[in-house]
Amino acid sequence: MLHELLLALVGCTGDFVIDERDLQEILPESAGPIPEYPDQPTFRLAPDLSFIHPSERAVIERLLPLGFYYRELDHFAAKHRNLSSFPLSKYFTLPQTPKLQKGNTGNASIYCRAVANGIVEILSVYRTAVLQVEQNLLSDPMPILATVTKGLNKFDVLLPPLYELIAEIESEDLRGGQLLNLLHKRCHCGVPELQACIQRLLWHGHQVLYNQLASWMIYGILQDPHGEFFIQRQGDKDVESELSHSDMSENLKQKSYEHAALNDWNIGFHIFLEMLPNYIHMRIAESILFAGKAVRVLRNPSYSFRVQETIFQQHISRGSQRSQGPMGSLVLPKDPFQGKHLIAEDLFPLSEANKIEEMLQELKKLSEFHKRSFESAINSIRIIAANHLWQLVVIRADLNGHLKALKDYFLLAKGDFFQCFLEESRQLMRLPPRQSTAEADLMVPFQLAALKTISEEDKYFSRVSLRMPSIGINMAASQMNSQKMKVDANLGVPLPVTSSELSVDGWDGIALEYSVRWPLHLFFTPEVLSKYLKVFQYLIRLKRAQMELEKSWAAVMHQDHSDFANHRRDKNNCPLSQQRRQRVRPMWRVREHMTFLIRNLQFYIQVDVIESQWNLLQSHVQTSHDFTELVGFHQEYLSALISQSFLDIGSVSRILDSIMKLCLKFCWNIELYESNPNLSELDQITEEFNKKSNSLYTILRSSRLAGSQRAPFLRRFLMRLNYNSFFEATARGVLNVIRPRSNFPSLQQ
């Protein structure tokens, strides 16, 4: 009897101990269906045993649940460790073999396998205790049932909670971070023995997590065959493995690889919150995501970057031979993946990878999960990855030079170039853009301005291209040969406008594009370039309005000087000249007010905003050696440009746009005034300008803006506008009076 009991305690039923589920297989109509993981143990003494005393029966009934729990735990372990072929004949009756084999066809989980390994450890301790009980019974001349109870009593507090644990795992199909959450929650209990067992199971789960972290943060590889890691790919396959097996040309393969690298950084990977353990902070998860993406970048340099590095190294190696003769031809890699590992070793040294691996190994050795130690290690790894990424982007890729180029072209720091471009395109922009050729028409003045102002040493201009959104072609500046190009001046003459073409304001859509190559795409993301473009379109409209006001003044001054010279020569026969001077004087008062506002706004943006923020950014670039910090500083730089230029305030930006358009309309009407005077339209422009300028000043002085971060710079702008209290007076309505039309006398008078 005792030997039958011991066999039942390790899950082997027979004639002495039976399983109610076996009866259900034989006699399905005897009882209702029993679930896969029943709430109560199903091991029972055989009903036909009459030789057992009721007291012994009660003791045995209390022991039998241990055998049931052992069998279910061993079933779980065999299922998830894929070891069902051999143990089934040992521990399971025939009816349950198909059930277990069916369970193996479900979703696989390496985390469940790890927990199963931990359960095997616990069950081995239980089996050892059963064997010890058996030895005690054999050595005792008078074996009694109390020996079994004494030897296995401690497992009464271990096996039932472990059974509940696996039942919840199986019923809710918990995997990955969900499984770790459950184990972490069950660790908080008041039974030291049970707490030690569940912590051991959690330790096994963390071994899998640390292996996945090592693969991700050391090699940039997602080792996650069943989708259980909280870092997951956005649905695309591994680009490098795809390209290596595809039959595409080398050129196409290189471009596809570099495009995939851009997507990898921007949208390739994300944090899967469903699999993120609750005890890992989101900030730490983001650091893990960043570190892995950074390592992927460092270990997978693009083909163009490898070509540049190869040329650079060959120049260095042959530098000593320059005095002896011409340098030999450069040997470039034909395979886009050739030499990748050599350069990757330079970008991310093996010593740094070993350092990261040592940190993770130290975490794996800990018997318990220490949150502070874990976060400290992850932060250290993030710093290592960020520093090497900083060296790649800032030092090797010349980040500061590209920042300067974006400032030159997108923030109009090269004022001579854009002044020349606007002068060359002035007549073209007087007419609406033609939908089919607008971009090509603009390229002529663009190229002329480049020939006149851009030196050959400017290696960044080749990355700048001019375009008109939704219109025609995209013609890059790099396609222009500044030495051999011949320009046909007739191309700059606009053709007649048809009704289907765009309005004159269509030129406000002029845009620049900047070619970003690996690894600068990590820094100059599409969102960043869109912010630069937003500021550029604002500044180019402002500069165009300022230039038109100056050109109109220059034209009238030329005419005025001619009239004055004629008047000096013949005072009696030049009454018209004197009348013309008196007639246009009120218009120039309005023009002076426009110029004053536009010029001060331009000076404020270029000096108080752009230059001051640029100097602040440069100080950060010089002192920071962390890529993520540098990205944050650059975001602050762009946000300050947009904020302090009022582009984030819809009411202000709309007023400024209206003022710039009014200035253009005013200049065009003034030029047509001699041949076609339109006094009503000039009055309307003047009245509208007064309203808009007063509204602008009122909004800028509002308390809402006075308390914002732009307040110190805003006060400088307001001080320049209102240095003599003129704007304040007009805003209050004291001088907000539109001059009567009699001030613009007609030529017939």
Q: What is the mean pLDDT of residues 717-741?
A: 65
Contact yes or no for 682/587 (Cβ under 8 A)? yes
DSSP state of 604: I
Can you tell me whether residue 622 is helix, strand or coil?
helix
Q: How many residues can be counted in the chain?
A: 749
Q: How far apart are CA 335 and CA 257, in angstroms?
A: 12
Closest CA to 510 of 422, 451, 595: 422
Q: Residue 651 corresponds to which tokens in the numbers above?
A: 């009411």
Q: CB atoms < 10 A from the CB of 283, how many?
A: 10
Residue identified by tokens 């040294």 is: 349
- Predicted confidence band at 358 (pLDDT cuts at 50, 70, 90)? very high
Least confident of 74-83, 125-134, 304-313, 321-330: 321-330
Can you tell me whether residue 44 is helix, strand or coil?
strand
Q: How far apart are CA 549 and CA 659, in angstroms?
A: 12
Closest CA to 624 of 447, 394, 455, 415: 394
Q: How far apart are CA 274 and CA 266, in angstroms?
A: 21
Contact yes or no for 205/279 (Cβ under 8 A)? no
Q: Give bridge partners of residue 18 from the DSSP assignment.
A: 44
- Predicted confidence band at 454 (pLDDT cuts at 50, 70, 90)? confident
Q: How far apart are CA 254 and CA 277, in angstroms?
A: 38
Pick 661 or 552 by higher pLDDT: 661
Residue identified by tokens 């690889």 is: 257
Q: What is the mean pLDDT of residues 244-253?
A: 48
Q: What angle do CA 377, 382, 385 make, to 5 degrees?
A: 130
Least confident of 152-161, 361-370, 702-711: 702-711
DSSP string, 144-191: -HHHHHHHHGGGGGTHHHHHHHHHHHHHHT--HHHHHHHHHHHT--S-
Q: How far apart are CA 62 and CA 350, in angstroms?
A: 59
Looking at the whole model, is its pTM more than 0.85?
A: no
Closest CA to 69 of 183, 188, 197, 172: 197
Residue 740 has pLDDT above 50, yes or no: no
Q: At a CB cut-off of 8 Å and minimum separation 6, what does 438 contact?
A: 468, 471, 472, 502, 506
Least confident of 132-146, 556-570, 696-710: 556-570
Q: Which domains does the chain carry?
A: 2-173 (no CATH), 209-313+337-395 (no CATH), 397-495+502-524 (1.20.120.1900), 558-749 (no CATH)
Can you tell me whether residue 514 is helix, strand or coil?
strand
Ranges of H-type helices in 318-473? 340-347, 350-365, 371-390, 399-410, 415-424, 438-453
pLDDT attached to residue 584? 62
Q: At what angle do helices 159-172 and 192-219 cross, to 10 degrees?
A: 40
| Strand arrangement, sheet containing 464-467 | 475-476, 464-467, 511-514
Q: How far apart are CA 270 and CA 275, in angstroms?
A: 12
Least confident of 277-286, 308-317, 472-481: 472-481
Q: How far apart are CA 402 and CA 404, in angstroms?
A: 5
Q: How far apart are CA 473 and CA 443, in angstroms?
A: 11
Q: What is the mean pLDDT of residues 344-357?
A: 84
Least confident of 109-113, 152-156, 695-699: 695-699
- Predicted confidence band at 343 (pLDDT cuts at 50, 70, 90)? low
Closest CA to 306 of 331, 324, 270: 331
Residue 379 has pLDDT above 90, yes or no: yes
Residue 366 has pLDDT above 70, yes or no: yes
Q: How far apart are CA 4 and CA 384, in angstroms?
A: 62
* Residue 579 backbone dihedrals phi, psi, to 5 degrees: -65, -40
Q: What is the mean pLDDT of residues 263-292?
A: 91
Q: Residue 426 corresponds to which tokens in the numbers above?
A: 């002035």
Can you tell me whether residue 464 is helix, strand or coil?
strand
| Rounded percentage of the chain residues whose pLDDT exceeds 90 | 32
Q: Which long-range contacts (CB under 8 A, 24 or more apart) does 554-561 make?
A: 555/671, 556/584, 556/588, 556/670
Contact yes or no for 7/14 (Cβ under 8 A)? yes
Q: Which long-range contacts (CB under 8 A, 24 or more apart) does 643-650 make?
A: 643/708, 643/709, 643/710, 644/605, 644/608, 644/609, 644/613, 644/710, 644/713, 644/714, 645/535, 645/538, 645/605, 645/609, 646/710, 647/534, 647/535, 647/538, 649/699, 649/705
Q: Give bridge partners of residue 337 from the DSSP assignment.
A: none
Residue 641 has pLDDT above 50, yes or no: yes
The two beta strands, 511-514 and 464-467, are antiparallel
Q: What is the mean pLDDT of residues 271-277?
A: 94
* Residue 269 backbone dihedrals phi, psi, to 5 degrees: -135, 155
Q: At a CB cut-off of 8 Å and minimum separation 6, what does 258 contact?
A: 302, 303, 304, 517, 518
- End-to-end Cα spacing for the chain: 133
Residue 10 has pLDDT above 80, yes or no: yes
Q: What percent helix, strand, coil does the chain show, rounded to 5?
A: 70, 5, 30
Arithmetic mean of pLDDT over the chain = 78
Contact yes or no for 4/25 (Cβ under 8 A)? no
Q: CB atoms < 10 A from the CB of 112, how many?
A: 28
pLDDT attached to residue 308? 58
Q: At what angle do helices 54-80 and 145-152 cross, to 10 degrees?
A: 40
Residue identified by tokens 């495009």 is: 259
The two beta strands, 475-476 and 464-467, are antiparallel
Q: Give bridge partners of residue 17 from the DSSP assignment.
A: 45
Pick 247 or 497 by higher pLDDT: 247
Residue 314: CA atoms inside 13 Å, Cβ hemisphere, count?
13
Q: Residue 166 corresponds to which tokens in the numbers above?
A: 């696996």
Cis peptide before 349 (omega within 30 of 0): no
* Residue 543 backbone dihedrals phi, psi, to 5 degrees: -70, -35
Q: How far apart are CA 471 and CA 82, in angstroms?
A: 62
Residue 142 has pLDDT above 90, yes or no: no
Contact yes or no for 699/655 (Cβ under 8 A)? yes
* Residue 92 backbone dihedrals phi, psi, to 5 degrees: -125, 140
Residue 119 has pLDDT above 80, yes or no: yes
Can you tell me whether residue 465 is helix, strand or coil?
strand
Q: CB atoms < 10 A from the CB of 580, how many?
A: 18
Q: How far apart are CA 319 and CA 316, in angstroms?
A: 5
Q: How far apart are CA 710 and CA 696, in angstroms?
A: 16
Ranges of H-type helices in 465-574? 526-569
What is the per-residue pLDDT across 97-111, written as a single tens digit (0 to 9) for each? 444 444 444 578 999
Contact yes or no for 736/694 (Cβ under 8 A)? yes
Residue 314 has pLDDT above 60, yes or no: no
Our measurement of the distance from residue 381's CA atom to the centroid of its chain's CA atoms, rounded to an integer in Å, reads: 19
Least confident of 78-87, 398-407, 544-553: 78-87
